[in-house]
Amino acid sequence: MTAEILAVARRHVADEGAASLSLRSVARDLEMAPSALYRYFDGRDALLSALILDAYESLAGEAEAAAEAAAQAAKRPETDAARWLAVPRALRAWALTHPHEWGLIFGTPVPGYEAPEQTVEPYARIAAALVRPVVEAEAAGRLQAGAGAGRAVSDDLEAAVRPVREGLFPDMPVGTVVRAVEAWTTIVGAISLEVFGHWRNTVLNPGTLFEATTRELASTMGLT
């Protein structure tokens, strides 16, 4: 039943966005009394929290599946750079099929409402999936020297990026860590600009641009 409520609520968010999600409309769709939902959720905010978490988990699952599939495929001869593309593509594909959920994660925060603490874990999983080919290429000694790794990094910058390095990149050159964070920035930016409609009349084929951009990021990080 909880699952059924979530399914309907998820559909509402997908159709109209989170702002107009209401307990009453969900109840209506389920042909229940609004008060019945209180048996399953503490109120509207609790339902919204569950949906946000849901979106994070869904995206994380997608990212991990793509990373895993690419890792399997890489047993056949394939370059690291080609393998790298899998997760960004999966993120973009998910965002295009779930634009409102993407907005829930990366868009304007709902005012006066704090995202639940549990989003930290799936968020880290998304980042880890993205970065997995880089980590594995580095471990195998296949990361091109002189690219990200060779770059000078100030002490300030190194300190700023320390949590990322400790969380995702044990024993990785700082230069590469910085590049990876920048890659994350670019990917999220590219997807958000597309999903939120900012390429309209500007970039005619966002898919082509996205592909080129992510390829570029690969070589920036020293993947070949």
Partner DNA sequence: TGTACATCAGTGAACGCGCGTTCACTGATGTAC
Q: Which residues bind DNA (CB under 7 A)?
A: 1, 21-25, 28, 31-36, 38-39, 43-45
Q: How far is the CB of 158 from a copy of itself (least distance, A)?
A: 9
Count Cβ atoms within 10 A of the Cβ of residue 106 and give its class: 0-12 exposed, 13-18 middle, 19 or more buried.
middle
CA distance linking residue 177 with residue 193, whole number of Å? 24
Q: How far is the CB of 125 from DNA (least distance, A)?
A: 30
Report what 112 binds from a copy of itself, DNA, none; CB cut-off 5-8 Å by kind.
a copy of itself
- Residue 103 binds a copy of itself (CB under 8 A): yes
Report what 196 binds from a copy of itself, DNA, none; CB cut-off 5-8 Å by kind.
a copy of itself
Report what 34 binds from a copy of itself, DNA, none; CB cut-off 5-8 Å by kind.
DNA
Binder of a copy of itself out of 28, 97, 109, 139 (CB under 8 A): 109
Report what 125 binds from DNA, a copy of itself, none; CB cut-off 5-8 Å by kind.
none
Amino acid at 105: I
Report what 23 binds from DNA, a copy of itself, none; CB cut-off 5-8 Å by kind.
DNA
The site map against a copy of itself for 179-208 (x = CB under 8 A) is --xx--xxxxxx-xx--xxx--xxxxxx-x
CA distance linking residue 176 with residue 73, whole number of Å? 24
Q: How far is the CB of 213 from DNA (least distance, A)?
A: 39
Q: What DSSP assignment string belongs to the chain?
A: -HHHHHHHHHHHHHHH-GGG--HHHHHHHHTS-GGGGGGT-SSHHHHHHHHHHHHHHHHHHHHHHHHHHHHHHTTSS--HHHHHTHHHHHHHHHHHH-HHHHHHHHSPPPTT-PPPGGGHHHHHHHHHHHHHHHHHHHHTT-SPTTSSTTS---HHHHHHTHHHHHHH-TT--HHHHHHHHHHHHHHHHHHHHHHTTTTTTT-S-HHHHHHHHHHHHHHHTT--
- What's the Rg (C-alpha) of the chain? 20
Report what 68 binds from a copy of itself, DNA, none; CB cut-off 5-8 Å by kind.
none
Q: How far is the CB of 193 from a copy of itself (least distance, A)?
A: 6
Residue number with CB closer to a copy of itself (31 or 156): 156
The binding site for a copy of itself (CB under 8 A) comprises 16-17, 19-20, 100, 103, 106-112, 120, 153-154, 156-157, 159-164, 178, 181-182, 185-190, 192-193, 196-198, 201-206, 208-209, 212-213, 216
